[in-house]
Structure 1
Amino acid sequence: MRHSPVPRHSAWLLGCACLSPAFYAQADFLDDSSVVLGLRNAYIDRDFKQSDAPRSRIGSWTQGFDLRLSSGYTEGPLQFGLETSTQWAYRLDGGGGRGPDSVIPYDASKGEQVRDYGRTGVTGKLKYSQTELRAGELRPRLPVAYIDDSRQLVTTYQGAMLESREWAGLTLTAGRIDKIATRESSNRERIYLMNGANIRRPSDGLNFAGATYQFTPDLSATYFYGQLEDIYQQHYLGLSNRWALSADYTLQTELRYYQNREDGQALYGEIDNKSYGAMTTLKTGGHGFGVGYQRMLGDSAFPLFNGYAPQPWLVNWSTVGFFKANEGSWQLRYDYDFAALGVPGLKFMTRYLRGSGIDRGNNDLDQNVESERNFVVSYVLQSGALKGLGFEWRNIDVKTRYGSGRASGVDYDENRLITTYTWKF
């Protein structure tokens, strides 16, 4: 039996009908996309004051770029999306003789920092209702894993992370991280512990899960569990509260607790660490007056990832860190937002931190004392063609004394001048 051919116009209409769902889904995928380019110009200079320092100064002047492309989601109950990022930094100064500075990778064979470095990453997104799965490059800000954007290239991780907000006030998070790309590296590597001896015993990965519950707009609680396989198990518990004392005064309080113990094969031996921290800040007008206390208990320092990966969930986290075995530390902090005087975008912060009682064993380094003082002035343009252009000056003064203050340790004065701008296309 002979069949009549389908007319061309009918075939075209049939093709459009078949492709239209994909077309509209792709339209949402593209129409909701964004392209963001972050620029950072950073001058960092650390001037060592102690006479026996290996180098008198380290630092660099660099220009960094962070290009991030993010798609929208396809239509339907199960939605797909994609993100890519490209980070690149270029050294603007000579770099010779300055030594490694934790910003630009250091080429020991040439005795200088490399000229440039960079990396790329891809993240796949899968979304259903209020639950999202991200796989590939991750930039978490969690109590168990945190990025570092204090220098040039941002510390990133490789793995998968699930976040769900299906229930009002409750955020559930779980995931696994296989590798880390540290702030001064183009490469991804397995996670090991930062340690003075630079002993590298990498873990197969970090497994984590946690929850945050918002009881009221001003009160929330967080719990997280992390397992860096064959190295440590970690528990975190935090409480955040904002209390309106009156129409003009508020009191912000952060309470944070960590417990760290060895896991599995214990690649770094026994880990015995607990951390208690409290930070409270009184705010009125543009002023903020803060006081904090943190105590490390146990025979071990707080375990940190390789590559200077930070742990800002510790209330006294800073350049020094104040995370050493048995260390007790406190801080006094003052902030001022000049928007209260009619100058929005201008801010000032200063703080002083001091740690003591550090247990380094029965030797001349035992019971050392360390302190840090910060001054930070920042300004962000609020209007005009360059709205969002930011400037920051940060001064960091660090002093270390060993043997209850009888011997001098690491002393340095550091200045950072940072200019930032973000283009949204």
Structure 2
Amino acid sequence: MKLSSKALLALAISSITATAYAEPASQDFVPTTLAGTSAQSEAKGFIEDFTLGGTTRNWYSHESKYRGGTFSYTKHGKTETDRNRTNWVQGTILNASSGFTQGTVGVKTEVALYNALVLDRSKRDIKGGSNRTLAGSDGDAVDQWSKLGLANMQFRVSNTTLTAGRQNFSSGIVDTIGNRALPSSFQGVSFNSEEFSNLSFQGGIFDRVSPRTEQSLSKFSSEYGNGQTTDKVKTLGFNYQPFKSLKTSVFAANVEDFWNQYYFGATHELGDAQTLALTTGLNYYKTTDTGSKKMGDIDNDTYSLSLGLTHQAHSLTFAYQEVNGDEYFDYLHETNGIYLANSLTSDFNSPNEKSFQVAYAINMAEYGVPGLKFNVYSARGWGIDGTHYTGTAYGEAGKSRSDLRLMDGEKHQEYGVGAAYAVQSGPLKATAIRATYVEHRGSAQQADGNIKEFRLVTTIPFKIL
């Protein structure tokens, strides 16, 4: 997934890859002025700027539960269990995008065909597929399927673009997620305005989501809830860079009959990575119930604070995160709307949870191997307390998560190691290969349990026209 400037805030805060700076981070003030150029005035034409290309991604994951944990599947009408699950899918995106027509108002179209080819079709391996492999009601994999992942019209005046249809969108609350073979997308209307040099505005109204591993559109639901759905998500916000070293982002969202959510993110850079650079990050979310309160009473304040030190090839990051509320810090399912520093395999977002992460990364470009990076991290969460929860959205045992009211002093820990390589030249330039191994261990009532996962993902971009 191509990350927007908003998503980069999260990466700066929870960074586990080394960052190299050519010069010290400037602390100069950035005055707000009108943008120097108009993007629409430089439009080349509907056909003249047409592009056809995309990516193909090989996505492999093997998981193992331990300490008595198992996955289940149905065989000949009987439920079978074992501790392993494997998913292997080839996801391909073919994207056709016109240029903007010339004139005061530019018009553009974008269509992207998403295709998934299942490489491991064993019912025993995929265990029903979850959000990894599309499976039928009988648990059999859908061997190959396609859908329109993107289909939209765009209208541009100066540096402001209105997009209508199925689209990507990126903010601290509503964000396309791309951690499977195919990404999610959203159906609705959005705008992006960059009329000022260091200040941009963004907003949207969406009524459906196109999930990562489904052929049809779905209503929005919450990541941790018990299946409640909503028909409308509205969001509005801005990104502002008051200093060359400081970037901020402010967004609000109304999820109809679920919650109102407010987000603030900031990242600040200081120093020179060739000697010592410091990256400081803050993410804060405020969530309150609204409308018919399908998710029950919510009054939740959650934040993360991180400090990242970089010296040449090496980076060391410390991150603290805290949830203040008797329910999960929740976000929209099939989105990446959680920019908290300790959102890892586990989100570390249980009621009243505190967590701390230490991460180290090395960028081998400093040692003559550009494109190669390694990272390792350890995170611990403690103080999980759901005993004061009085609602039902997160409290029905046997639903999507454990009963919050049973969580009393729960704790968990996660370890991870990864390696990534980006091809620097040749016909496979920009091909990205990423291997990760993660182990998570939780106490008796902690929802994520005890699991190990190895994941290998190769993403190859291609251009036809």
| Common topology (TM > 0.5) | yes
Paired amino acid for 2:145: Y
In the other structure, the counterpart of 2:60 is: 43
Larger radius of gyration: 1
Structure 1 Cα separation of the partners of residues 431 and 264 of structure 2? 37
In the other structure, the counterpart of 1:119 is: 147
Structure 1 residue 423 and structure 2 residue 446: aligned? Answer: no
Superposed CA deviations along residues 244-286 of structure 1, whole A, max 9, x for unmatched, are 1575221111111110000111111111211111112111111
Structure 1 residue 172 and structure 2 residue 172: aligned? Answer: no
State the shift of 1:409 in Å.
Answer: 7.3
Q: Is the 8 A contact 1:366 1:402 kept in 2?
A: no
| Pairing of 1:25-424 with structure 2 (within 5 A) | 28-54=45-71, 55-98=82-125, 99=127, 100-109=129-138, 111-120=139-148, 121-195=150-224, 199-244=226-271, 248-307=275-334, 309-361=335-387, 365-402=407-444, 410-424=449-463
Superposed CA deviations along residues 191-219 of structure 1, whole A, max 9, x for unmatched, are 122336xx333212111110111112211
SS across alignment from 1:340: helix
Q: Is the 8 A contact 1:252 1:280 kept in 2?
A: yes
Q: Is the 8 A contact 2:319 2:358 kept in 1?
A: yes
Structure 2 Cα separation of the partners of residues 221 and 79 of structure 1? 30
State the shift of 1:236 in Å.
Answer: 0.8
State the shift of 1:170 in Å.
Answer: 0.3
Structure 2 Cα separation of the partners of residues 143 and 419 of structure 1? 26
Runs ≥4 residues deviating over 4 A: none
Aligned residues: 394
SS across alignment from 1:113: coil
Paired amino acid for 2:318: V
Superposed CA deviations along residues 158-191 of structure 1, whole A, max 9, x for unmatched, are 1111111112200111111111112121111111
Structure 1 Cα separation of the partners of residues 277 and 449 of structure 2? 38
State the shift of 1:108 in Å.
Answer: 3.3
Structure 2 Cα separation of the partners of residues 162 and 27 of structure 1? 21
Superposed CA deviations along residues 351-381 of structure 1, whole A, max 9, x for unmatched, are 1111111123276542211111111101122
State the shift of 1:50 in Å.
Answer: 2.4
Moved more, 212-221 or 363-372: 363-372
Q: Is the 8 A contact 1:60 1:95 kept in 2?
A: no
Superposed CA deviations along residues 122-162 of structure 1, whole A, max 9, x for unmatched, are 11110000111111112122111111111112011111111
RMSD of equivalent CA atoms: 2.0
Moved more, 353-362 or 166-175: 353-362
Structure 1 Cα separation of the partners of residues 117 and 97 of structure 2? 24
Structure 1 Cα separation of the partners of residues 218 and 153 of structure 2? 20
Q: Is the 8 A contact 2:44 2:100 kept in 1?
A: no
Structure 2 Cα separation of the partners of residues 422 and 239 of structure 1? 31
Q: Is the 8 A contact 2:274 2:311 kept in 1?
A: no
Structure 1 Cα separation of the partners of residues 104 and 448 of structure 2? 60
Residues 134/156 of structure 1: CA separation in 2 closer, same or farther (3 Å cut): same
State the shift of 1:387 in Å.
Answer: 2.0
Residues 247/318 of structure 1: CA separation in 2 closer, same or farther (3 Å cut): closer
Structure 1 Cα separation of the partners of residues 133 and 438 of structure 2? 20
Q: Is the 8 A contact 1:39 1:66 kept in 2?
A: yes
Runs of 5+ in structure 1 lacking a partner? 1-24
Residues 336/187 of structure 1: CA separation in 2 closer, same or farther (3 Å cut): same
Runs of 5+ in structure 2 lacking a partner? 1-41, 72-81, 389-404
Paired amino acid for 1:133: L
Moved more, 159-168 or 384-393: 384-393
Q: Is the 8 A contact 1:50 1:409 kept in 2?
A: no
Structure 1 Cα separation of the partners of residues 67 and 354 of structure 2? 24
Paired amino acid for 1:93: D
Instruction: Output the TM-score relative to the length of structure 1.
Output: 0.88
